[in-house]
Structure 1
């Protein structure tokens, strides 16, 4: 810490308040806190210092491979089928960058939590300072097992779902019905569920045990479908407004660290031309 006396600090604060024409602190005998103007001023100064750090780092690394630690947070389920290939392809391009990857399905604050980038769903973003780019849309699909269907009528129409037991639905659809697009109209059909969970991986595992029908992201179940462990139902019917958007998020600033810019460019290339809901790799 700077070795400054209280009187010197007080004079410096008073001088700054006079120059800015704004009060920076709430003062009382028991409390000492920043005003709203001071918080905005402080945040702006931090961004300027961050930009200076980025400018210095980018200038120093000009002509060299990006280096350093890149901290990334990603949605567990939405990235399940392609996160490892994405990371490994990036690592092969940029061997001097070390990656620290956190998987979660909870809201995150990129700045407060110390992340450089997030691969997230929109509900996870706890700050409006972030810039986001769409990577992929993930449609939901209705799945079950042949074991469950054995001795039961296979649904041929959304109305038939009422005759079956649902394991769960994703949190955003945690309600006793599913809405489908029927031509130009939307139609809602009731469902019955006996097991609910906020974790789609658990939901899939319950389905694989032969219990019930589920609505899950295609990326979570596509390998099970291809292997015959799960079967899709009502493929010809589209669930309305069901596609979750997977987005790349980072704090917007005039200058980005070279390692962050490198990952943004890599992700854009990795997902270029990939159809919605399929493996980008």
Structure 2
């Protein structure tokens, strides 16, 4: 290897792997796809390694490319944090803030926190990625994540996001009038239930708790969905009983389109938190976002 790769090349390489696309990575980097492709070919030649498997339809890292990506991601992230820390000497935070969260969490933040943050810090860019599965935010290049407090690794700093969480069994008034209202979780076996598929592909088992008794039930019904908003819509249409988060169902409950049932079996639990590594520099933009959550969340 005659010449060490530049930070521009390494950053471009990680962008391609993250997006699995030369075109999207080129858009992010502000260059043409052909320029980016030429840069990567030059990088591969100097390293003496093929970093990508390319077809006309897809791009994916080779085994060597995947290993390089895993090694580079925390290094480049630390560099970004160091530069961001220096940037705190400026009057106002600027740059990009990447957050990984569930869709429902992002939508809740959109009500007050995000609009106020963007208005106060116009030089900041929020990059919010929504997905159901729990990811390693450090390895995936995120500044922070949002998840239930019980799912957050112990070596992270966690900032509570408002109220406690709660899951509710809900159904439309019409469904309950026709099929009756279950008084205990066991009675759900006689009802039409709308099942939820987890990001892993597994079907979620409904969880109930009362006093010292805990139940996890495999329910059956006319349909399985992988989106809580769609489950709420299905329940409103009278297709069955859904088991969803209070955030997803609250508007429909308040409007009378849904009724919550078995509430004594679904107690609140510690809610969601924004979390980030405790052993790394905290960029100014993230500090400002945390302050905004504490102020408005």
Normalization by structure 2: what TM-score? 0.63
| Match of residue 99, structure 1, among 102, 111, 126 | 126
| Match of residue 138, structure 1, among 146, 165, 168 | 165
Query: Which structure carries more strand by proportion?
Result: 1
Instruction: Determine the structure 2 residue equivalent to 1:20.
Output: none
CA distance in 2, matches of 1:118, 1:175: 22
1:186 aligns with 2:214: yes
1:150 aligns with 2:150: no
| 1:77 partner SS | helix
Describe how 1:81-100 pairs up with structure 2 within 5 A: 81-100=108-127
| 1:265 partner SS | helix
Describe how 1:1-281 pairs up with structure 2 within 5 A: 3=3, 49-50=79-80, 52-59=82-89, 61=90, 64-121=91-148, 130-136=156-162, 137-169=164-196, 171=198, 174=203, 178-186=206-214, 191-235=219-263, 237-239=264-266, 243=269, 245-271=271-297
The structure with the larger Rg is 1
**Runs of 5+ consecutive residues of structure 1 not aligned to the other structure:** 5-29, 34-38, 272-281
1:174-211 per-residue CA deviation (whole Å, 9 max, x = no partner) reads: 466x4533334335667433322222222222212210
Query: Which structure carries more helix by proportion?
Result: 2
Contact kept? 1:132, 1:247, Cα under 8 Å: yes
Query: What's the offset of the Cα at 1:65?
Result: 1.8
Contact kept? 1:181, 1:238, Cα under 8 Å: yes
Query: What's the offset of the Cα at 1:254?
Result: 4.5
Q: Would you say how many aligned residue pairs link Structure 1 and Structure 2?
A: 236
**Runs of 5+ consecutive residues of structure 2 not aligned to the other structure:** 5-48, 50-63, 65-69
CA distance in 2, matches of 1:150, 1:43: 56
Higher relative contact order at CA 8 Å, sep ≥6: structure 1 or structure 2?
Answer: 1
Query: What's the offset of the Cα at 1:75?
Result: 0.8
Query: What's the offset of the Cα at 1:48?
Result: 6.3
1:99-153 per-residue CA deviation (whole Å, 9 max, x = no partner) reads: 222222234343444332222347987x987543332532100101112123222
Query: What's the offset of the Cα at 1:45?
Result: 6.7
Normalization by structure 1: what TM-score? 0.66
Contact kept? 2:93, 2:121, Cα under 8 Å: yes
Query: What's the offset of the Cα at 1:3?
Result: 4.5
Q: Classify 1:163/1:69 alpha carbon distance in 2 versus 1 (closer, same or farther; 3 Å).
A: same
RMSD of aligned residue pairs (Cα, Å): 4.0
Q: Classify 1:58/1:145 alpha carbon distance in 2 versus 1 (closer, same or farther; 3 Å).
A: same
